[in-house]
Amino acid sequence: MKTLDNILIIGKGAIKEKTISQLSSLGWSPHQIECIRAATKIPKDDLPLVGLFVFESQAPYLSSEIENFINEGKTRWIAIIDIKLIKNNDIRQSVGRLFCAFHVTPIDINRLHFTLESLRDIADLASSSSCQSEVGKSECQMVGNSPIMKELFKTIHKVAVVDAPVFIQGESGTGKELTARAIHDESSRAGHPFNAVNCGALPTNLIQSELFGHEKGAFTGASQRKIGIIENTEGGTLFLDEIGDLPLELQVNLLRFLENHTIQRVGGLKEIEVDVRVLAATHVDLEKAVEKGSFREDLYHRLNVLQVRIPPLRMRGEDIEVLAHHFFHQFANEKSLQVTGFNKESLALMRLYEWPGNIRELINRVRRAMIMCDHHLIRPTDLGLERRHCASRHAESLEEARDIAERGVVLASLTRNSFNIQHAARELGISRVTLYRLMEKHKVNRASEAQGPKGKVEGGTPREAPNVLHLSSLKKGPS
Ligand SMILES: Nc1ncnc2c1ncn2[C@@H]1O[C@H](COP(=O)(O)OP(=O)(O)OP(=O)(O)O)[C@@H](O)[C@H]1O
């Protein structure tokens, strides 16, 4: 996994020297920082992921050669400028156009530090997406780092290559539709349509004609023939969301279609052959619905050939921070200018929160926080999270309850002590070794501690470089 292993600084003078020494004191080791004084020495290959461009005065370095070089976009550039000194309008415009972030002097070193951290996240996301590109081209992007998600990615690969129905289960907002899309994108049907229908959202009287189409005159108002969604999905994949809400009388039609690969339009007599793969999802317990008689058992078995279970977000703690950063970058163009990331308490609380709305809720909270935040770092209040919201986390067993409590205590102490292991261990009355073991066990991040002073910065993002798995290629977007 490629991370931010090098920073290239171009420019000379006191600002540069000061920046280097300040970055070093924040844990960016001096050997990561390569300094170049003149345009002629810019290495064309093997570029680092981040470049700092230190303007000294009228920026003689912003020659067309450098402009071209920056425009190549292999490195993300941050301008460090003394805005008062830049009188030349062309240069001002170039700064806006060429640089992904800029900082004015005197430099707020914490802000610069978090800009670099954000760029490291982007680099991690981008490099892991390129690892995944061999999986196939896809419009969608699934991010996850937890063992559960890695298993899910494997399952998706397996079920994508066969043509049987797949039954996707998971709470609302866990990513069922995204998973269905990923299966489609990984399958040989990828070049054909992917259509999703929410069976619970369509009125009962419309759903049959929406799915199967109708002939002209089939019912009052059917002034023309209508081709239904199933026919429109020819060659591709149909995702039937909330299949548990499909009225009983339509379940038999669906069963016929699954068994014979034929449909009849409403009011039509002809059997029409269709080649469509069906993926179905529900957040209700279909077995119970079968027992109750509201779902046909034969249809249930027909749909339930292959299963994919998506766990709720609260059960994949490692993913929460990775996803939060992922969405932070995705909505980067909507954020208020000064926001550079999450503070430590926010990250800690996000791990403890229950997330009843799962990833959809996470997206909404992060997005809102990015707009509303008045500080450099998103605080729990910006996310609408408070400690009391996290206290309700319920455990499925006594062991889980102990784990949750243990993790909470460890994390709280580390957060209070800015991830200083010695202080936290002393506060908890355990040895450093035991604390390390607990951090390992609960996947509490050690990166900030390992990098020493970085962890002392208010709001340091205590996180390991995320081993993000993208199921498919990056959506075109800011991330
Ligand atoms: N692993 C993931 N990585 C990135 N984004 C995700 C992931 N899982 C879900 N999302 C995003 O979360 C949102 C909700 O996902 P999706 O609509 O697939 O959930 P769902 O389970 O089908 O929800 P519902 O049951 O309410 O229909 C979408 O914006 C989706 O792109």
> pLDDT tens digits, residue range 316-364?
888 898 899 888 888 887 766 678 888 888 988 898 888 889 999 999 9
Ligand 1 contact, 317 CB (< 6 A): no
- Residue 452, C-beta contacts closer than 8 angstroms, at least 6 positions apart: 27
166, 347, 410 from 323: Cα distances, Å: 25, 11, 22
The class of domain 147-313 in CATH terms is: alpha beta
Give dist(CA 174, CA 188) in Å, integer: 25
- One-letter amino acid for residue 302 of the chain: R
Which residue puts its alpha carbon closest to atom 24 of ligand 1?
A: 172
- Residue 446, C-beta contacts closer than 8 angstroms, at least 6 positions apart: 419, 436, 439, 440, 464
CA–centroid distance, residue 445 to ligand 1 (Å): 26
Q: Which residue pairs, CB below 8 angstroms and at least 24 apart, start in 246-253?
A: 246/199, 246/207, 247/204, 247/207, 248/294, 248/295, 248/296, 250/207, 250/208, 250/211, 251/295, 251/296, 251/299, 252/296, 252/299, 253/208, 253/211, 253/212
Give dist(CA 187, CA 254) in Å, integer: 22
Displacement of CA 245 from its chain's centroid (Å) = 29
pLDDT class of 476 with cuts at 50, 70, 90:
very low
| Domain boundaries for CATH 3.40.50.2300 within the chain | 7-107
| Domain boundaries for CATH 1.10.8.60 within the chain | 316-470
Averaged pLDDT for residues 455-465: 30
Interface pTM, i.e. ipTM:
0.99
What is the percent of the chain where pLDDT is above 70? 70
45 and 52 Cβ atoms separated by less than 8 Å: no
List the 306-309 sheet strands across, edge first.
194-198, 237-241, 277-282, 166-169, 306-309
pLDDT class of 457 with cuts at 50, 70, 90:
very low
Which tokens go with 94?
A: 């170039």
| Domain boundaries for CATH 3.40.50.300 within the chain | 147-313
Best residue for ligand 1 mutational test, from 139, 177, 319 (most atoms within 8 Å of Cβ): 177
Neighbouring CB atoms inside 10 A of 264's CB total: 16
Which residue puts its alpha carbon closest to atom 26 of ligand 1?
A: 172
Q: Find the distance separating the first CA and the last CA of the chain, reported in whole Å.
A: 17
Question: Of 194-208, 225-239, 243-257, where does mean pLDDT reach its minimum?
Answer: 194-208
User: What average pLDDT does the chain have?
Assistant: 75
Does 34 have pLDDT greater than 70?
no
pLDDT of residue 129: 41
Can you name the CATH fold of 316-470? Helicase, Ruva Protein; domain 3 (1.10.8)
Ligand 1 contact, 105 CB (< 6 A): no
CA–centroid distance, residue 196 to ligand 1 (Å): 13
pLDDT of residue 464: 31
Averaged pLDDT for residues 288-299: 91
The CATH number fitting domain 7-107, selected from 1.10.3680.10, 3.40.50.2300, 3.40.50.300, 1.25.10.10: 3.40.50.2300
- One-letter amino acid for residue 158 of the chain: K
